[in-house]
Structure 1
Amino acid sequence: MTAIPRRLRDDRGAATTQLALVVPVLLLLGMLVVQFALVWHARHIAQYAAVRALATARTKSGTAAEGRAQARRSLTALGGRILTAPSVAVDRTMTQTTVRVRGVVMAVVPGLHLHASGTVAGPTERLTAPGGGQP
């Protein structure tokens, strides 16, 4: 039998070693892409819930509690699993209504806890006289 040159035998297993080093890095990069896509989506969900809550709370007969309830319904319908532990804050005054929706984004990458929020504000509906004062 002929002997295999030593140079050819030294490369055996190199592809396996390279694969074992590269695949985890590629998987981590893929998971990071998915994680940041979820953050982007969660921000849109939070903003949508805040807009819906503002539309409810800023009406003349609306209340802050009704706004919070509307935001919770919107979050349940759209982001129950993506935006976890949501908090809704509605501040309603005579002239301005502000809604803040915050939450933790579902984790794809272990140990990475990112937050998403949405904030909107608008004037509170009220009756005024033609000169700008109260009727």
Structure 2
Amino acid sequence: MTALLRRLRDDRGAASTQLVLVLPGLLLLALLIVQFALVWHARHIAQFAAQRALATARAEEATAADGRAQARRSLAALGSRILAAPSVAVDRTTAQTTVRVGGTVMAVVPGLTLHASGTASGPTEKITTPAGDRS
């Protein structure tokens, strides 16, 4: 009987059981950390593309199409896999130019779909003369 009690109190294999229970949680935590780091990176890519597109689209002789083309080039150079299915919207008026870049972030955790976006806005360039110029 004492041998049976000793075997019931024996903790052989406890480390394996704990490892099997804890390891999936640790792996999920590591994947979530990587996923949110990718979201952070994708937001920076979108913001950079929006700023580059704004610099192009707000020039005096430029068009909204020029801004969209510049954003697409920037996205292709930096984040074609990280920022999937990107969308670029350029709104250019005589006074203000606004660029919005967004897309879906590459998924590391299955079933988790996250989006990232960036926006840049500034005045549209135009040549003016000083008030009161008599020439």
TM-score normalised by length of structure 2: 0.91
* Gapped regions of structure 1 (runs ≥ 5): none
Letter in 2 for 1:73: R
Letter paired with 1:17: T
**Alpha-carbon shift at residue 110 of structure 1 (Å):** 0.6
2:121 — aligned with what? 121
Q: Unpaired runs of 5+ in structure 2?
A: none
**What is the match of residue 101 of structure 2?**
101
Cα distance in 1 for residues equivalent to 2:127 and 2:42:
36
TM-score, structure 1 as length reference = 0.91
Q: Alpha carbon RMSD of aligned pairs, Å?
A: 1.6
How many Å apart are 1:128 and its aligned residue?
1.5
Give the letter aligned to residue 5 of structure 2: R
Question: What residue number does 1:77 align with?
Answer: 77
Question: Is the counterpart of residue 53 in structure 1 residue 53 in structure 2?
Answer: yes
SS at match of 2:117: strand
Identity of aligned residues (%): 74
Aligned length: 130
Match of 1:131 in 2: 131
Q: Which residue of 1 aligns with 2:25?
A: 25
Matches within 5 A, 1:6-21: 6-9=5-8, 10-21=10-21
Structure 1 residue 68 corresponds to structure 2 residue 95? no
